[in-house]
Amino acid sequence: MSPGATPQDDFDEFYAVTAKRLVAAVYAVTGDLGEAEDAVQEAYARAWQRWAKLTAEGDPTPWVRTVALRLAVSTWRKTRNRVRAHFRYGVPADAPALAPDRVALIAALRELGEEQRMAVVLHHLMDLPVEEVARETGVSNAAVRTRLSRARKALGDRLTEEEEVPLHG
């Protein structure tokens, strides 16, 4: 804690520094910005309730990230059919300002299995080392490397496909 800072001040600073990146990561997992924001907000609310314990144990970031991702995946599983139907008909309504490459990345991530998607988001978007991804997902380092390798191949195939454009003559 900073000299003279209250736990509330420390929490507010932590939130300001970490929230935007966490929302982006959870959005990459779920493909739904509203669900990502809700999961992250709930994770921070739960963190505040345990703030003294979390900060006593060290960096609270992994705990908040794990809770947010688990909440998001749980919500995502419950609403999977609704979300798939919504996205089947075009670009998500909550992402009109995203660059086309980001929309393509989110769409490609959505096509991956949950385990591969989680590994990609944690490793490539959250910059976590393989060892930490393994710890947070409860699998071995080798399993994480395998998931990342397979996900990269799948993403590479999906993101390099050329759309067919009809020629008018």
pLDDT in tens, 28-87: 888 888 889 999 999 999 999 999 999 999 999 999 999 998 888 776 555 554 445 445
d(CA 157, CA 135): 28
Same domain, 103 and 93: no
d(CA 5, CA 102): 39
Rounded to the nearest 10°, the torsion over CA 102, 105, 110, 112 is -160
Position 125 scores a pLDDT of 81
Residue range(s) defining the domain that contains residue 72: 1-97
Domain presence at residue 66: yes
Same domain, 77 and 108: no
Same domain, 92 and 111: no
Pick from 78, 97, 116: which residue ends a domain? Answer: 97
Pick from 66, 97, 128: which residue ends a domain? Answer: 97
From residue 39, alpha-carbon distances to 27, 128, 167 in Å are 10, 20, 45
